[in-house]
């Protein structure tokens, strides 16, 4: 809640007539909906759905003055009529000219508070990097990312992002996580350095994690300092829980495996010919992630073969020619 009130204090109970903007979040299953208080009435903001374990950046541009105010966002002029506010989420205008609450017109907006009510879910929310200004102004960032998205491409994930301006931009570090909390760098992509025109970037994650992959960009200045971090996006991989690929080296009479394991554990590799005769049987110790194995294959003859990899909870089959 944002407004003007002496009881906007830790542990205080808010008063509706002291509230200019009030957003109410309701948890239902794995998604979260949001409502806005227009006057004294709460109404759901259509098209806004949020997910657990995801970071969102909120910006509110509020006008309780006596005339329409303007600001510039993403190089585009925006207007805010009196008694309304704009809501930006992750650098996108999510709701335009939302009606205010019950705060008297032309009253200074100088307070905000967070208030929990009727929680039956063992949920936690983390808030940080809170900033307030008494005039609508957009800080010009040295590097401005206006889009960052990902999409599934077979077993890979395609990632794309766009900048509208760059200053002293050396690189982008692409980070990935399975939990949206602990990220690891998977790639470094060269930046444009200095630019005042739109730049488009792309990267293909050819070995995504099973399930949901969380990605974030970290921008690095030419002097090596961290310039900014993007919002976190989530993409569900099409990769199965575990998978493996078989290749052969006939000259050395070797069978070579590349295996992705979802968890640490043991697995059994068996190889059969087309008549169902078992030619190879070996126990493997797997570590979570990608790994390579090679085995001598003196008993396997030329032709089509079937390999099966059996773990504690699944069995995967792969055909290959020796």
In tens, the pLDDT along 124-162 reads 777 776 777 766 654 456 788 888 999 999 889 999 999
Residues 6+ apart with CB under 8 A from 164: 74, 75, 144, 146, 198
pTM comes to 0.44
51 and 102 in a common domain = yes
| Cα–Cα dist 211/312, whole Å | 19
d(CA 52, CA 303) in angstroms, rounded, equals: 50
The range of the structural domain enclosing residue 211 comes to 143-236
Q: Who's near 6: CB < 8 A, 6+ residues apart?
A: none
Whether the pLDDT of residue 315 is over 90: the answer is no
Write down which residue in 176, 209, 236 finishes a domain.
236
Of the residues 176, 204, 236, the one at which a domain ends? 236
- Give the pLDDT band of residue 183 (cuts 50, 70, 90): very high
Span 187-199, average pLDDT: 92
Task: Identify the CATH number of the domain in which residue 158 sits.
Answer: 2.60.40.10
| Phi-psi category of residue 37: left, alpha or beta, with phi > 0 → left and psi -120 to 50 → alpha | beta
Instruction: Tell me if 29 is assigned to some domain.
Output: yes
Domain count, the chain: 3
The confidence score (pLDDT) of residue 204 equals 96
Instruction: Look at residue 123 and tell me if it is in a domain.
Output: no
For residues 191 and 154, state if they share a domain.
yes
| Per-residue model confidence (pLDDT) at position 235 | 93
Whether residue 129 is contained in a domain is answered as no
Position 130 in a domain: no
Per-residue confidence at 176, pLDDT binned at 50, 70, 90? very high
DSSP state letter for 149: E
209 DSSP assignment:
P
Residue where one domain finishes, among candidates 236, 266, 298: 236
């Amino acid at each position: 809640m944002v407004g003007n009130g002496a009881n906007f204090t830790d542990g205080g109970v808010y008063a509706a007539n002291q509230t200019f903007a009030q957003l109410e979040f309701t948890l239902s299953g794995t998604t979260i909906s949001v409502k806005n208080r227009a006057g004294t009435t709460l109404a759901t903001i259509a098209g806004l759905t949020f997910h657990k374990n995801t970071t969102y950046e909120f910006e509110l541009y509020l006008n309780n003055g006596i005339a329409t105010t303007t600001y510039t966002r993403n190089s585009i002029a925006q207007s805010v009529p009196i008694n309304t506010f704009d809501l930006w989420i992750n650098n996108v205008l999510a709701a335009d000219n939302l009606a205010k609450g019950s705060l008297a017109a032309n009253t200074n907006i100088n307070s905000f508070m967070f208030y929990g009510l009727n929680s039956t879910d063992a949920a936690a929310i983390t808030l940080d990097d809170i900033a307030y200004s008494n005039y609508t102004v957009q800080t010009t960032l040295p590097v401005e990312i206006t889009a960052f998205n990902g999409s599934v491409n077979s077993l890979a994930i395609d990632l794309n992002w766009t900048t509208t301006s760059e200053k002293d931009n050396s690189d982008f570090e692409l980070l990935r996580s399975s939990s949206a909390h602990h990220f690891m760098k998977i790639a470094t992509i060269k930046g444009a350095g200095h630019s005042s025109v739109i730049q488009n970037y792309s990267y293909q994650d050819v070995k995504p994690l099973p399930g949901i992959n969380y990605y974030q960009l970290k921008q690095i200045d030419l002097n090596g300092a961290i310039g900014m971090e993007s919002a976190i996006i989530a993409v569900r991989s099409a990769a199965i829980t575990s998978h493996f690929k078989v290749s052969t080296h006939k000259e050395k009479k070797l069978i070579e495996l590349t295996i992705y394991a979802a968890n640490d554990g043991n697995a059994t590799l068996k190889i059969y010919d087309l008549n169902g005769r078992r030619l190879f049987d070996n126990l493997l110790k797997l570590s979570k992630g990608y790994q390579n194995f090679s085995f001598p294959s003196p008993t396997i003859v030329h032709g089509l073969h079937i390999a099966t990899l059996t773990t504690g909870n699944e069995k995967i089959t792969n055909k290959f020619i020796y």
